[in-house]
Amino acid sequence: MEKININMQKFFARMMVLFMLVCAIGMSFSVDASAADATLLNTYGAKYGYSGTCINLYQLRDSGQLSFLKQHYNSITLENEMKPDALLGGSARLITVSDAKKRGYYIPDNYKEAYVPQINFNTVDEVMKICYQNGLKMRAHTLVWHSQTPSWFFRNNYSGNSGFVNATTMDARLEMYVKTVMNHVYTSQYGSVVYAWDVANEVIHANNSGWEAIYGNNRTNASYVKKAFAYAYDTLEYFKLTDSVKLFYNDYNTYMEVSNVIKLVNYINQGRKTCAGVGMQSHLGTGFPSVDYYTSALNSFVKAGFEVQITEMDITNKGDSDMANYAYNLYKNINTIKKNGGKITSITWWGLSDQTTWINNSKPLLFSRPGSPKQAYNKVIQAYTEVFGQPSSQPSNPQPSNPQPSNPQPSGQNINKNTTARISDGWYYLKNTLSQKYLTVEGNKVNGWTNVCISKGTGVDGQKWYVTNTQDGYITLTSKLGNYMLDIANGKDEDGANIGIYQGYGGDAQKFVVKNTNNGGIYTIGTKVSNAVRYLDVYEHKTADGTNVCQWLYYGNPNQQWQFEPVRDAQPGQGGNQQEQPQQGSGSQEQAKGLVLTTSINNWGSGYQVSYKVTNNTGSAVNSWTLKIPTDQVKIDSSWNVNVTVQGGNYVITPVNWNSHIENGQSIEFGSCGTGSIGSTIGYSFN
């Protein structure tokens, strides 16, 4: 009898284990199924009000991309098609004031000119209609910007070759433009889709603009910005929209400009609150800014009483796992601020997928292609559910956020407190101060990832480096041997990580920051992957030819110091002024193999913007194209919608994924900005 009882006990014990296992499987299935139901729309869209993405009209016309968009987003921002140059065009198309009034333009009483530039609303109208028909809302981006505003808009008679108008005339033009654009939107049957405006964009970082030429070099007390917000708010009052539509000041690197941004917004709001708050462009990288650094800025804006909309998020990274970890920590913090009462009302990812990102050769978004989520997508959803619970439910015991900095700074003497230097774009030899030897591609030839070392100056191509300043304050160094950039092996943030060259893509592993030293003309070169904690270093302080170059914790000795010698002569260190000759172009308009390029130059004296249009007249569709422009005719400090490298004295311009295919008779457009002066024509050639 005792034996039977023991067997029965074992039987019931096994059954209990089996029962618990079945229950656990069922519970796991339930959780996984619930997680699978979560989208950006029913999590972030529901909690914040708007889950957004950056888009172009051609994507909205694509039923597949539109369908995918609607699964995750309820808000769109046009990437370029609502900026001033898109509405005004490369050259002024003038109409009379009376004609403008008939078209519904707003002409203020102090507008004394006889003509008004025509504004092209065709794209905006079609986008608003698509949004209206598909239940989408829209952020209007942007009214006032120094970068993509044609120079002629600031000049006498709206002529690009004339002098700048005075401030009184520009006040009238500004009021005309702001109120005309907003009036057009809100008199449209589809205008209700627009719920927010980036009235002014990147004022803190404006340089050499028409705005500054007329109103002065202001940052935190820019009078034209305050006026623009006043004109925009007047329009909202007229249409009784002040409670439902908000006006924002939008800028990049706001985490580095917290004090100045707060000062500017407070200045705008002196006397009357017209600016709701800050649009935080968030073009981030896993190497910089750290999650804590970004979070601190977000908290500062919230505590200042501002509404915050995260407007342009993407995350440059070293791989899917790297991005996923960063995104998880970042969104845990953002969600915690929101849960604690922070007024964050929109989050916009800057692109549908990695296929259409503006960052060349990078994968900074949540989807590799529409419908294909990455690890980072799951982590962003996880960050939401851990703070707020599953969609349409409340968390029973939300866990507090405990963020870790992505790049903890070293303490004490290893912090480089020297100021950042700016090296002008161009060709240089890089000479190490200790050894008096030059940074050299080993063997002077490329074979995949290729090592760099120091060696005696001989003037070979493997010792020539093209400096390109990037928009985030770093530089890239491209070898004269081709489209290969100086690169940290595997993007590692550790002492001794090897330095070489690799196919140029401009990611964090290929970005560097130049710092001054106590000796003029002598610099240290920090790596972005280490957040400028580690610097280019000649291994073990050696001076012999062939000594390896790596990165090492900053200590600033001559072993880590470098000179930038302009490439003017056949051999480094010998003087002379024989310039390297770029290939010659062939005029301002050229047809090669049926491709036609036309350009429009907006020149404001100390800087310029070039708008390019490639038209396919080949008689059939083309799937790719390559354009060459001599570097001595145009300077490309920044560009959009293309990939740009430097080879043999030319900028080599190739398409991004979405504009490589051009149907016969169709065109694609892209642009670039540069500093300095430029002629009226640009030579170029197609390959």
Which residues carry out catalysis? 202, 312
509 strand-pairing partners: none
Tokens of 97: 């004031």
CA pair distance 371, 653, nearest whole angstrom: 30
Three-state secondary structure call for residue 84 = helix
CA pair distance 427, 465, nearest whole angstrom: 5
Q: Nearest 5 degrees, angle CA 80-CA 154-CA 177?
A: 60
DSSP string, 12-28: HHHHHHHHHHHHHHHHH
Tokens of 519: 């000796």
Kindly provide the residue ranges of all beta strands, DSSP E only, lying in 442-539, ordered along the sequence.
450-455, 465-469, 475-479, 484-488, 499-503, 512-516, 523-527, 534-538
Q: Do 148 and 80 form a contact (C-beta atoms < 8 A)?
A: yes
Residue showing tokens 């070392």 = 453
CA pair distance 94, 118, nearest whole angstrom: 6
Residue showing tokens 């405990």 = 402
* DSSP alpha helix (H) spans, 134-217: 167-187, 210-215
Cβ count within 10 A of residue 678:
18
The gap from C-alpha 678 to its chain's centroid, in whole angstroms, comes to: 25
Spell out a b/e string for 536-558, using b for 16 or more CB atoms within 10 Å of the CB, else e. bbbbeeeeeeebbbbbbbbebeb
**Beta 426-432 vs 465-469: how paired, if at all?**
antiparallel
CA pair distance 6, 4, nearest whole angstrom: 5
